[in-house]
């Protein structure tokens, strides 16, 4: 599979990304694992998810997709550096839509825990937040 550079991120991604929105919603864990296995077996490498997936489903709390992806990563016969994980912050997880620094710092730790990984390859805001100053939404990357 021909990989492509993703802007200036330094990441190399396949031309197709799988959306994890359905994991824990219309795809149960067993089906989600099968989808992810087939996706990576085909030479593709990037999973897109968000902390809020799938909070809209009765009985779900949000983070369900990240939890399934985390469990899949733990059992997959694939080293973590072969998967590009993209997740998002800023949707309403009970505190309203916000990109305040204090919220982002907690939300990223929560996502890391659900994903059962030490790092997220690309962390994005899910929605704009006009109420939070730009400087507060643009946290510096760790060195």
pLDDT in tens, 10-51: 999 999 999 999 999 999 999 999 999 999 999 999 999 999
**What's CA 106's distance to the chain center, in Å?**
15
d(CA 60, CA 5): 35
Q: What is the pLDDT of residue 130?
A: 67
- The catalytic residue positions are 53
Q: Is 60 exceeded by the pLDDT of residue 8?
A: yes
Q: Residue 132 — left, alpha, or beta (φ > 0 → left; ψ -120 to 50 → alpha)?
A: beta
Is 143 within the bounds of a domain? no
Q: What CATH number did the domain enclosing 71 receive?
A: 3.20.20.100
pLDDT in tens, 46-69: 999 999 999 899 999 999 999 999
How many structural domains is the chain composed of? 1
Q: Determine the structural domain holding residue 73 and report its residue range.
A: 4-85+92-137
Q: What is the pLDDT of residue 114?
A: 97
Is 34 within the bounds of a domain? yes
Q: What is the pLDDT of residue 66?
A: 98
pTM of the model: 0.89
Is 78 within the bounds of a domain? yes
Q: Is 70 exceeded by the pLDDT of residue 80?
A: yes
pLDDT in tens, 105-140: 999 999 999 999 999 999 998 877 667 777 765 656
| Crossing angle for the helix pair 64-75 and 29-41, to the nearest 10 degrees | 60
Q: What is the DSSP string of 29-54?
A: HHHHHHHHHHHHHTT--EEE--TTTT
Q: What is the pLDDT of residue 14?
A: 97
Cβ-contact 86, 121 below 8 angstroms: yes
Is 142 within the bounds of a domain? no
């Amino acid at each position: 599979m021909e990989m492509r550079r993703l802007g200036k991120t330094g990441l190399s991604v396949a031309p197709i990304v799988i959306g994890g929105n359905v994991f824990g919603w219309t795809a149960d864990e067993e089906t989600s694992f099968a989808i992810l296995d087939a996706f990576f077996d085909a030479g593709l490498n990037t999973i897109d998810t968000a902390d809020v997936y799938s909070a809209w489903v009765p009985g779900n709390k949000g983070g369900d997709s990240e939890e399934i992806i985390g469990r899949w990563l733990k059992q997959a016969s694939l080293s973590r550096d072969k998967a590009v994980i993209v997740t998002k912050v800023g949707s309403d997880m009970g505190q309203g839509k916000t990109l305040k620094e204090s919220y982002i710092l907690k939300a990223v730790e929560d996502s890391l825990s659900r994903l059962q990984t030490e790092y997220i390859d690309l962390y994005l805001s899910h929605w704009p937040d006009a109420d939070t100053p730009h400087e507060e939404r643009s946290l510096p990357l760790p060195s």
